[in-house]
Amino acid sequence: MAKARTKKRTHVRATNATAAAKGGASSMSKTPKSMVIRVGATQVGSSVSQLVKDVRTMLEPDTAVRLKERKSNRLRDFTTMTGPLGVTHLLLFSKSATGNTNLRLALTPRGPTLHFKVENYSLCRDVEKSLKRPRGGGQDHKTPPLLVMNNFNSPGADENSKVPKRLESLTTTIFQSLFPPINPQATPLTSIRRVMLLNRELAPEGEEQDSYVLNLRHYAITTKKTGISKRIRRLDPKEIRNKEKKKTAVPNLGKLEDAADYLLDPSAAGYTSASETEMDTDAEVEIAESTTRKVLTKRELQRMKAGDKEKAQKKLSNGPGVEKRAVKLVELGPRMKLRLQKVEEGLCEGRVMWHDFISKSEDEVNKLDKSWDKKKKEKEERKKQQRENIEKKKAEKAKAKANGKDVEDDDDEDVDMSDEDWLSDDFDEDDENVVQDEDDEEEEEEEGEEEDGDESMDE
In angstroms, the CA 8 to CA 19 distance is 16
Looking at residue 198, its pLDDT comes to 96
Burial class (CB in 10 A: 0-12, 13-18, 19+), 198: buried
In angstroms, the CA 359 to CA 196 distance is 33
In angstroms, the CA 339 to CA 200 distance is 10
DSSP state of 44: G
Phi, psi angle pair for 398, to nearest 5°: -65, -40
Beta partners for residue 338, in sequence order:
118, 214
Q: pTM of this prediction?
A: 0.65
DSSP for 135-196, written as a single string? ---TTGGGSPPEEEEES-S-TT--TTSSS-HHHHHHHHHHHHTTS----TTTS-GGG--EEE
Query: What distance lies between CA 349 and its chain's CA centroid?
Result: 22
- Could you count the other beta carbons within 10 Å of the beta carbon of residue 192? 15
Q: What SS3 class is residue 325?
A: strand
Of 423, 433, 414, 418, the C-alpha closest to 384 is 423
Of 448, 437, 443, the C-alpha closest to 44 is 437
Looking at residue 49, its pLDDT comes to 92
In angstroms, the CA 432 to CA 178 distance is 29
Beta partners for residue 215, in sequence order:
199, 337
In angstroms, the CA 320 to CA 446 distance is 67
List b or e across 374-384, with b for residues whose CB sees 16 or more CB atoms inside 10 angstroms: eeeeebeeeee
Q: What SS3 class is residue 54?
A: helix
DSSP state of 109: T
Looking at residue 289, its pLDDT comes to 59
Residue 45 contacts residue 95 (beta carbons within 8 Å) = yes
In angstroms, the CA 214 to CA 34 distance is 20
CA atoms 354, 357, 363, 368: torsion sign: negative
pLDDT tens-place values along the chain, 459 residues long: 567 777 666 655 544 444 444 544 444 457 899 999 998 776 788 999 999 999 999 999 999 999 988 888 888 888 888 889 999 999 999 998 888 999 999 999 888 999 999 999 999 999 999 988 888 767 888 999 999 999 998 887 888 888 889 999 999 999 999 999 988 888 888 888 999 999 999 888 777 788 899 999 999 998 877 766 666 666 666 555 545 444 555 667 777 777 777 666 655 444 444 434 444 545 776 666 555 566 677 777 777 767 665 555 555 555 556 777 788 899 998 999 999 999 998 888 888 888 888 777 777 777 877 887 888 888 889 989 999 999 999 988 888 888 877 666 554 444 443 333 333 333 333 333 334 444 444 444 444 444 444 443 443
